[in-house]
Amino acid sequence: MNDYRKYLDPKTVAKVGNLELVARLVVEGFITGLHRSPYHGFSVEFAEHRAYRPGDEIKYLDWKVFARTGKYYVKEFQEETNLRCTIAIDASRSMAYASQGNISKYEYSAYLAAALSLLMIQQRDAIGLTLFDNGIRTFLPPNSKPSYMRQILKTLEQNSPANDTGTAPALNLLAEKIRRRGLVIVFSDFFDNPDDILTALKHFRHKKHEVIVFHVLDPREIDFKVGAPANFVDMESGETMLTNPYQIQLAYKNAVNDYINFLKKECLNHQIDYNLLDTSASYDHALSSYLVKRKKM
């Protein structure tokens, strides 16, 4: 694995522990990958450079340029915010699930949300964060100040999955809380009534927001390769069921695929970007999806 790619691997960055460092490593790995890629469909431009002048803040010096040229240049950022984005993460109890060898769906979403937040703030976009379960647990309105990143990271770190799922009512409430038009990014396993979920996502479109959906599932929730007969426990209701996974695997996979295809098709029909992510997947796909969407706005 190339050095930069290891920081796009969820299990690798999970060992780091510090969420701020995780975000920086993921973004750095992603940008390095873009620079090495033979595909040039999009790029990341944080700033333009100009020669250093007395009185400029030292923190904006680009030391990489200095190392190459021996001359001092500062990064010059746009003064106005380009984009207002709200990231909404499902923090209901089902998001705590993690099969052997994988991180939980909430951890996966939090790491990716942290990386996206850092990427946006570096581009001088405004980023906000909402955590929801059967209601809105936390609402941080979009802000473009670099110092705001600490509040986002603190919120992600201090929360964990709890309470029952109420995806549709929570998203409908969020749609009413976001006053200004922008981008909404939703992370969820969408274990709720599919028609209600689609109605809530369309609520954002009705409010003229652009929407990206990240459907986050554990690999075993997709393929149901869980081995020997076992008791399955609902993480929210506590209900148990003894079954032989091998006997129902095909029916289960068909049902899951039908559900995924339904969400994907309906999102497409309503100009909502749908992305299926499993918690073993590299983060570059999701970051690329965001950049493609960003270029179109």
Q: Is 18 among the domain residues?
A: no
pLDDT at 244: 62
Q: What is the pTM of this model?
A: 0.81
**Same domain flag for 108 and 242:** yes
Distance from first CA to last CA of the chain, Å, rounded?
Answer: 34
Q: Kindly report, residue by residue over 216-253, the tens digit of the pLDDT.
A: 999 999 988 766 555 556 656 667 755 666 667 788 88
**Same domain flag for 153 and 66:** no
Which of 201, 211, 20 shows the shortest CA–CA distance to 117? 20
CA-to-CA distance for 244 and 228, rounded, in angstroms? 7
Q: Which helix (H) or strand (E) holds 202?
A: helix 194-206
Percent of the chain with pLDDT over 90: 61
Residue-wise burial string across 170-207, b where 16 or more C-beta atoms lie within 10 A, e elsewhere: bbbbbbeebeeebbbbbbbbbbbeeeebbebbbbbbeb
Q: Kindly report, residue by residue over 15-53, the tens digit of the pLDDT.
A: 998 999 999 999 988 888 876 654 444 444 444 566 767
Q: Which helix (H) or strand (E) holds 220?
A: helix 219-223
Percent of the chain with pLDDT over 70: 81
pLDDT at 80: 46
pLDDT at 70: 78
Contacts of 167 (CB under 8 A, 6+ apart): 90, 92, 132, 188, 190, 191, 192, 196, 197, 200
**Same domain flag for 191 and 261:** yes
**Same domain flag for 62 and 101:** no
**Same domain flag for 69 and 186:** no
Count of structural domains within the chain: 2
